[in-house]
Amino acid sequence: MKEEYTFEELEKIFQKLPKKLKDKILAIETADEIFDICARNGIDDLRISDVALYVGDVLMGLLPPSKFAEVLEKEVNLERETALNIAKDIEKVIFSSVKEELENLYGTKIATEVAEKIKETAQPSEEKIPPPKPEEKPAPPK
């Protein structure tokens, strides 16, 4: 569930951001990139605006990039594969251009964290199941 912030709280958070993140949030190019990525993945206009809100949350420090794909799946109701594709493309096109600022904001290595999260959620578990033990038979009488 998305945490709600007042306009004043969001404004204070925004004002504390580095200039490069502020510029990325306000850039028309960012909106165009989000629209293009979502359109390529067959997302309708209503859900594109939801994706854009969560991109903004990441850029403002309110949603860790490692949780972005999961939030798209659960909160925007996207299929898992679609959410992962969108998250990967947004990481490549939008988040990577402000990678250093995001790493400073979240105190982590963003690209590695996001890539690991996508890899982890994209592949089915490869848990090894041991073969059944053969039944022990009593030794034949001598």
Task: Say yes or no to pLDDT of 109 above 80.
Answer: no
34 inside domain: yes
Q: Is residue 43 part of a domain?
A: yes
**Is the confidence at residue 116, as pLDDT, over 70?**
no
This prediction has a pTM of: 0.75
Q: What is the mean pLDDT of the chain?
A: 85
Domain extent at residue 91: 20-122
Give how many domains the chain has, as a whole number: 1
Q: Is residue 132 part of a domain?
A: no
In a domain, 100, yes or no: yes
- DSSP codes of every residue in the chain: -PPP--HHHHHHHHHHS-HHHHHHHH-HHHHHHHHHHHHHTT--HHHHHHHHHHHHHHHHTSS-GGGHHHHHHHHS---HHHHHHHHHHHHHHTGGGGHHHHHHHHTS-HHHHHHHHHHHHHSPP----PPPPPPP-PPPP-
Residue 93 within any structural domain of the chain: yes
User: Is 11 part of a structural domain of the chain?
Assistant: no
Within a domain: 141? no
Confidence label for 78 from pLDDT (cuts 50, 70 and 90) = very high
